[in-house]
């Protein structure tokens, strides 16, 4: 499974802890900033269970194999590593829908939909004696309440909604629609096991995870854009913004005309936290914040003189008595230059 | 209650015409309000012993169970039967769900929990509000083996029984020597003379016992590749690590026509559900499993259980091979051994204790037990239950010594130059059972066909014509 990690490195040094934190879904500003810089934001939270041990071990193995050079908490691919990366990319499924990674924790969403589909499928066959998918109590309750809230039309509704999404998905890659449909659980069918899915689709076991993640992210995104019984089912699990809810509140207040200090006071949060929220918004929602309000032109002009060359190589050197604010400006300027290309 | 009435209930609710041996005697004791210890072989129908009394006794039946997956499976099975509600309380249930469940606890006739969860204040407090008609300790040998298993919370069951004052206590296990039996009763605080002990032989006459010594792992792999197709199926191969179970399942899929899956506690709940069901419906020939597999799966027609690695004890081995041939038809219990295999379980017996100073600092609350490493919670438990830091090295050494003795006993089984059955039964204080077929001592050139294995040929895996629309139609019972 860990070999997909090759795709996250390049011929230039990348911070190893940023890549690890991105995969684990840690949304610190440092992680988000560098993940955007490396073009790996679609992998945010893609491997939440990745352990330090597994990751470090993989790095060591790659270094020993001559694929990676490890130095100073960074890693870069060697010529051999770049060739290995190309071979990997040519022989494995490449994720397509990672940009929607923030919409939902797809595995949780999948569990809920699988149980709902099972209930509806058994209902379609008038079967009451079956073993429901064993999920946490609150998930079962959510699905049960959703099911009781609907009438007999639920069978055709769910089938039509699923078919609509899978039709669109099949236009991208029919294997994803097949994978999605044959992994569903229902009357006298428990769906393909992972091994069976690999065999039936002729893919390697390690690709299954990425294909399944893509299929469910596509599904989550489609439901977020529509209305219907399945959307009702998963609505509480769908995020409306890539920001954390606290950062979203800060953004709303800022767009409403309030200053950082006012928001800090009203929300009883440190100024530093509010700045982090705004940086999160600048990184994850490019173009939505009026940067001029955050970065005064004279400050920007000064930063332009101070920092030149590739963004990734800038080293922050505080010069004022308020390094917190100075770093905020520095990072904003860095993001701006990076996003402007 | 007389046997006829109980048999009537058995038939009405469980569909069986007769009790298996030991079941009726156990039920009779339990229904009479006696504390009971039932030692019945794996597959002897132990869950029925606490399920049937629900039709006759009022109040709650509380079951203490060691494995999370096992609890959920058992609770699901009761719920599916439709007569009673069952609920699970363990570490897999989040706080929000636990609070909701505790608030409605009286609605459930069956409550499954672990010793760790039972030890928590709110859980015990909520249970005290109920009338517990039966306090069941499933896999009761864990009470005695708590040391090596590092489940010290099993020691708290004595206090829980005293606090809950159940009408009676039922202890269930498949394997317990006389020494272990006594140890269990002492640890749960039940005076031996007050307990009805029902003991059935651990012998499973339909199992052929064999050991295959091989040079190394590669030889084991080659041996399996050649042997599995001759065994028919379905069967289980046990591994000591998830990684190896996964690797072997993948490998067997590529080198054979067998339908294979890996099964262990590391699987997501949905995947586990799929594999369990596929196996039950004979859609899989072989499961590569860790010991997480089996306890909750009630599959009667397993034709073989193979151990790829050396189990940690004869008791564990006996439990695991007992899952083969529950239907009474011939089945095989095969252990693969390569020199040095004992090093894996031996490694697990070694515990490096933190320094006395560090333990004292934990005891006085100056540092968190998590800083004590992997064994932190266990050490913390002892420190807060009457043990001093200086007592722990002796305690852990004793446990390690006992664990090594158990491994040596297992090795003796491998190297045994006499009847394996005789040796296995002797370990459980039982005398000889002469039978044919018996084991590879009596039949060194055994073949699977000698006892009827391999009659069912594994179904060849078919490549399907994939059509997701048809699959949706089938799922939702639609014509188009």
* Among candidates B82, B250, B269 on the partner chain, residue whose Cβ is nearest the Cβ of A205: B250
What value does the mean pLDDT take over residues A148-168?
95
Q: Give yes or no for residue A137 having a pLDDT over 70.
A: yes
Residue of B nearest to A194 (CA): B271
Same-domain pairing of B164 and B123: yes
Token pair recorded at residue B39: 């030692």
CATH code of the domain in which B176 resides: 3.40.50.300
Bridge-based pairing of strands B260-263 and B304-307 is: unpaired
| Chain A residues with CB-CB distance to B76 below 8 A | 131-132, 134
* Among candidates A121, A177, A178 on the partner chain, residue whose Cβ is nearest the Cβ of B475: A121
CA of B53, closest CA in chain A: separation in Å?
Answer: 23
Q: At what angle do helices A323-340 and A271-284 cross, to 10 degrees?
A: 0
Same-domain pairing of B188 and B240: no
- A287 or B197, which is more confident: B197
| Chain B residues with CB-CB distance to A53 below 8 A | none
Residues 198-257 of A with CB under 8 A from B: 199-201, 205
**How many CB atoms within 10 Å of residue B467?**
15
Whether B149 contacts chain A with CB within 8 A? no
Whether B468 contacts chain A with CB within 8 A? yes
Residue B458, domain member (yes or no) = no
DSSP category for residue A39: T
Residue of A nearest to B473 (CA): A159
| Chain A residues with CB-CB distance to B271 below 8 A | 193-194
Whether B275 contacts chain A with CB within 8 A? yes
How far apart CA B306 and CA B288 sit, in angstroms, is: 9
Using omega within 30 degrees of 0 as the cis cutoff, is the peptide bond preceding B437 cis? yes
| Chain B residues with CB-CB distance to A174 below 8 A | 468
Same-domain pairing of B60 and B174: yes
Query: Quick check: A210 and A2 in contact, CB under 8 A?
Result: no
Residues 395-424 of B with CB under 8 A from A: none
Same-domain pairing of B174 and B133: yes
How far apart CA B323 and CA B316 sit, in angstroms, is: 12
Q: How much is the pLDDT for B480?
A: 62
Span of A37-41, A125-129, B42-46 with lowest mean pLDDT: B42-46
Span of A211-225, A314-328, B370-384 with lowest mean pLDDT: B370-384
**Three-class DSSP category at A102:** coil
Q: Give yes or no for residue A17 having a pLDDT over 70.
A: yes
Residue B469, domain member (yes or no) = no
Same-domain pairing of B353 and B293: no
Contact A138 B469 (CB under 8 A): no
The neighbouring-strand residues paired with B64 are B113, B137
Task: Count the domains in chain B.
Answer: 3
Residue B457, domain member (yes or no) = no
Q: Which residue has the tokens 């609920």?
A: B87
**Three-class DSSP category at A284:** helix
Residue B52, domain member (yes or no) = yes
Q: How much is the pLDDT for B444?
A: 93
Query: Quick check: A217 and A101 in contact, CB under 8 A?
Result: yes
Query: Quick check: B52 and B14 in contact, CB under 8 A?
Result: yes
* Among candidates A137, A180, A185 on the partner chain, residue whose Cβ is nearest the Cβ of B97: A137
Same-domain pairing of B247 and B98: no
CA of B130, closest CA in chain A: separation in Å?
Answer: 21
pLDDT digits (tens, 9 = 90+) for A177-194: 999 999 999 999 999 988
HEC assignment per residue over chain B = CCHHHHHHHHHHHHCCCCCCCCHHHHHHHHHCCCEEEEECCCCCCCCHHHHHHHHCCCCEEEEECCCHHHHHHHHHHHHHHCCCCEEEECCCCCHHHHHHHHHCHHHCCEEEECHHHHCCHHHHHHHHCCCEEEEEECCCHHHHCHHHHCCHHHHHHHHHHHHHCCCEEEEEECCCCHHHHHHHHHHHCCCHHHEEEEECCCCCCCEEEEEEECCCHHHHHHHHHHHHHHHCCCEEEECCCHHHHHHHHHHHHHHCCCCEEEECCCCCHHHHHHHHHHHHCCCCCEEEECCCCCCCCCCCCCCEEEECCCCCCHHHHHHHHCCCCCCCCCEEEEEEECCCCCHHHHHHHCCCCCCHHHHHHHHCCCCCHHHHCCCHHHHHHHHCCCCCHHHHHHHHHHHHHHHHHHHHHHHHHHHCCCCHHHHHHHHCCCCCCCCCCCECCCCCCCCHHHHCCCCCCCCCCCCCCCCHHHHHHHHCCCCC
| Chain B residues with CB-CB distance to A215 below 8 A | none
- Cβ neighbors of A153 (< 8 A, separation 6 or more) are none
Token pair recorded at residue B310: 């050396």
**How many CB atoms within 10 Å of residue A326?**
17
Q: List the domain range (segments joined by +) for residue B381.
A: 344-405
- pTM for the whole thing? 0.82
Question: What is the residue extent of each domain of chain A?
Answer: 2-91, 106-237, 245-340
**Residues found in chain A:** 341
Identify the CA nearest to A50 among candidates A101, A7, A3, A103.
Answer: A3
Q: How much is the pLDDT for B148?
A: 44
Q: Give yes or no for residue A224 having a pLDDT over 50.
A: yes
Query: Quick check: A107 and A215 in contact, CB under 8 A?
Result: no
Residues 153-192 of A with CB under 8 A from B: 155-156, 158-159, 162-163, 166, 170, 174, 177-178, 180-182, 184-187, 189-192
How far apart CA B353 and CA B351 sit, in angstroms, is: 6
Contact B468 A170 (CB under 8 A): yes
Residue B304, domain member (yes or no) = yes
pLDDT digits (tens, 9 = 90+) for A68-83: 999 989 999 999 999 9
Whether B463 contacts chain A with CB within 8 A? yes
Residue B462, domain member (yes or no) = no
Same-domain pairing of B181 and B79: yes
How far apart CA A133 and CA A116 sit, in angstroms, is: 9
Whether B78 contacts chain A with CB within 8 A? no
Whether B255 contacts chain A with CB within 8 A? no
* Per-residue pLDDT of chain B in tens (480 residues, 90 and over written 9): 788 899 999 999 988 899 988 999 999 999 999 999 999 887 667 889 999 999 999 999 999 988 776 788 788 888 877 789 999 998 888 888 899 899 999 999 999 999 989 988 789 999 999 999 999 999 888 888 665 456 778 888 999 999 999 999 999 998 888 888 999 999 999 999 999 999 988 888 899 999 999 999 999 999 999 999 999 879 999 999 888 999 999 899 888 888 899 998 888 889 988 998 888 888 899 999 987 665 556 788 999 999 999 998 898 899 889 889 988 899 999 999 999 998 877 777 777 788 888 888 888 888 887 777 777 777 888 887 778 888 888 888 888 888 888 899 999 999 999 999 999 999 988 887 778 889 999 999 999 988 888 876 666 666 678 999 999 999 999 976
Same-domain pairing of B337 and B349: no
How far apart CA B444 and CA B448 sit, in angstroms, is: 12
**How many CB atoms within 10 Å of residue B310?**
24
User: Can you name the CATH fold of A2-91?
Assistant: Arc Repressor Mutant, subunit A (1.10.10)
Distances (CA, A) of B101 to A131, A174, B163: 21, 43, 21
Same-domain pairing of B229 and B315: yes
Q: Which residue has the tokens 């998830």?
A: B242
Residue of A nearest to B254 (CA): A199
CA of B456, closest CA in chain A: separation in Å?
Answer: 21
Using omega within 30 degrees of 0 as the cis cutoff, is the peptide bond preceding B290 cis? no
* Cβ contacts from A onto B, under 8 A: 119
- B46 or A105, which is more confident: A105
Contact A138 B94 (CB under 8 A): yes
Residue of B nearest to A170 (CA): B468
Residue of B nearest to A169 (CA): B468
Contact B97 A138 (CB under 8 A): yes
Identify the CA nearest to B250 among candidates A58, A196, A57, A201.
Answer: A196
Token pair recorded at residue B422: 């005789």
* Among candidates B271, B274, B468 on the partner chain, residue whose Cβ is nearest the Cβ of A166: B468
Q: Which of B144, B167, B199 is the last residue of a domain?
A: B199
What value does the mean pLDDT take over residues A287-292?
84
| Chain A residues with CB-CB distance to B475 below 8 A | 117, 121, 124, 159, 181, 184, 186-187, 189
Same-domain pairing of B387 and B280: no
* Among candidates A107, A159, A195 on the partner chain, residue whose Cβ is nearest the Cβ of B472: A159
Contact A182 B274 (CB under 8 A): no
Residue B267, domain member (yes or no) = yes
**Three-class DSSP category at A75:** strand
| Chain B residues with CB-CB distance to A196 below 8 A | 259
| Chain A residues with CB-CB distance to B97 below 8 A | 136-138
| Chain B residues with CB-CB distance to A120 below 8 A | 476
Same-domain pairing of B180 and B325: no
What value does the mean pLDDT take over residues A226-243?
94
Residues 215-254 of B with CB under 8 A from A: 249-250, 253
Token pair recorded at residue A156: 């055709």
CA of A200, closest CA in chain B: separation in Å?
Answer: 6
* Among candidates A125, A170, A196 on the partner chain, residue whose Cβ is nearest the Cβ of B477: A125
Distances (CA, A) of B249 to B4, B263, B288: 47, 9, 6
Quick one: B455 exposed, middle or buried, by C-beta within 10 A (0-12, 13-18, 19+)? exposed
Same-domain pairing of B311 and B382: no
* Among candidates B93, B269, B274 on the partner chain, residue whose Cβ is nearest the Cβ of A190: B274
């Amino acid at each position: 499974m860990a070999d997909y990690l090759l795709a996250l490195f390049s011929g230039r040094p990348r911070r190893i802890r940023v890549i690890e934190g991105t995969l684990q879904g840690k949304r610190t500003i440092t992680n988000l900033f560098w993940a955007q810089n490396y073009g790996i934001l679609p992998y945010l939270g893609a491997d939440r269970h990745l352990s330090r041990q597994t990751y470090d071990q993989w790095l060591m193995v790659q270094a020993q194999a001559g694929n990676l050079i490890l130095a100073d908490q960074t890693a870069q691919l060697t010529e051999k590593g770049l060739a290995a990366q190309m071979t990997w990319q040519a022989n494995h499924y490449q994720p397509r829908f990672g940009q929607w990674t923030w919409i939902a924790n797809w595995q949780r969403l999948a569990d809920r939909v699988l149980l709902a589909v099972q209930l509806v499928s058994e209902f379609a066959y008038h079967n009451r004696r079956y073993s429901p998918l064993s999920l946490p109590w609150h998930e079962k309750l959510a699905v049960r309440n959703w099911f009781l809230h609907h009438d007999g039309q639920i069978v055709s509704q769910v089938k039509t909604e699923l078919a609509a999404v899978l039709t669109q998905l099949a236009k991208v890659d029919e294997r994803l629609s097949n994978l999605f449909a044959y992994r569903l659980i229902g009357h006298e069918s428990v769906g393909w096991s992972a091994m069976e899915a690999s065999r039936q689709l002729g893919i390697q076991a390690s690709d299954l995870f990425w294909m399944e993640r893509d299929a469910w992210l596509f599904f989550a995104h489609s439901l977020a854009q529509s209305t219907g019984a399945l959307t009702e089912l998963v609505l509480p699990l769908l995020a409306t913004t890539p920001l954390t809810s606290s950062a979203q509140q800060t953004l709303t207040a800022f767009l409403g005309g309030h200053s950082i200090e006012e928001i800090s006071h009203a929300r009883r949060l440190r100024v530093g936290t509010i700045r982090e929220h705004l940086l999160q918004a600048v990184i994850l929602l490019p173009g939505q914040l009026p940067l001029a309000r955050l970065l005064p032109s004279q400050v920007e002009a000064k930063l332009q003189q101070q920092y030149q060359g590739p963004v990734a190589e800038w080293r922050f050197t505080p010069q004022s008595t308020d390094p917190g604010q100075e770093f905020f400006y520095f990072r904003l300027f860095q993001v701006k230059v990076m996003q402007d290309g | 209650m007389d046997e006829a009435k109980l048999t009537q209930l058995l038939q009405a609710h469980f569909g069986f015409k007769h009790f298996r041996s030991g079941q009726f005697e156990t039920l009779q004791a339990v229904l009479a309000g006696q504390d009971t210890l039932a030692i019945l072989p794996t597959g002897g129908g132990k869950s029925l012993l606490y399920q049937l009394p629900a039709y006759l006794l009022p109040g709650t039946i509380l079951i203490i169970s060691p494995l999370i997956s096992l609890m959920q499976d058992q609770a699901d099975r009761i719920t599916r039967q439709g007569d009673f509600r069952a609920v699970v309380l363990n570490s897999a249930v989040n706080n929000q769900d636990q609070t909701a469940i505790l608030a409605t606890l009286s609605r459930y006739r069956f409550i499954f929990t672990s010793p760790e969860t039972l030890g928590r204040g709110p859980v015990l407090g909520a249970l005290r509000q109920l009338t517990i008609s039966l306090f069941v300790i499933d896999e009761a040998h864990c009470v005695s083996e708590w040391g090596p298993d590092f489940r010290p919370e099993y020691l708290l069951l004595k206090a829980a029984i005293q606090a809950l004052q159940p009408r009676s206590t039922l202890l269930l296990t498949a394997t317990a020597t006389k020494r272990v039996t006594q140890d269990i009763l002492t640890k749960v605080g039940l005076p031996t003379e007050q307990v009805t002990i029902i003991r059935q032989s651990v012998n499973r006459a339909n199992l052929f016992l064999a050991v295959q010594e091989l040079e190394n792992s590669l030889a084991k792999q080659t041996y399996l590749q050649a042997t599995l197709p001759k065994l028919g199926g379905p069967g289980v191969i046990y591994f000591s690590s998830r990684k190896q179970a996964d690797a072997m399942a993948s490998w067997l899929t590529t080198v054979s026509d067998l339908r294979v899956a890996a099964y262990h506690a590391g699987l997501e709940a949905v995947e586990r559900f799929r594999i369990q069901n596929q196996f039950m419906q004979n859609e899989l020939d072989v499961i590569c499993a860790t010991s997480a597999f089996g306890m909750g799966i009630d599959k009667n027609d397993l034709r073989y259980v193979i151990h790829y690695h050396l189990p940690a004890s004869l008791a564990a081995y006996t439990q695991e091979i007992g899952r083969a041939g529950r239907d009474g038809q011939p089945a095989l219990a095969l252990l693969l051994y390569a020199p040095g295999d004992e090093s894996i379980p031996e490694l697990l017996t070694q515990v490096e204790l933190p320094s006395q100073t560090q333990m004292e600092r934990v005891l006085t609350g100056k540092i968190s037990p998590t800083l004590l490493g992997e064994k932190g919670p266990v050490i913390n438990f002892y420190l807060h239950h009457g043990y001093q830091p200086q007592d722990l090295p002796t305690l852990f050494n004793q446990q390690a010594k006992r664990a090594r003795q158990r491994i040596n006993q297992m090795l003796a089984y491998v190297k045994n130059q006499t009847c394996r059955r005789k040796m296995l039964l002797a370990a459980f204080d039982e005398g000889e059972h002469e039978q044919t077929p018996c084991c590879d001592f009596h039949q060194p050139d055994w073949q699977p066909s000698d006892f009827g294995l391999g009659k069912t040929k594994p179904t060849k895996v078919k490549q399907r014509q994939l059509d997701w629309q048809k699959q949706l139609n089938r799922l939702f019972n639609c014509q188009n």
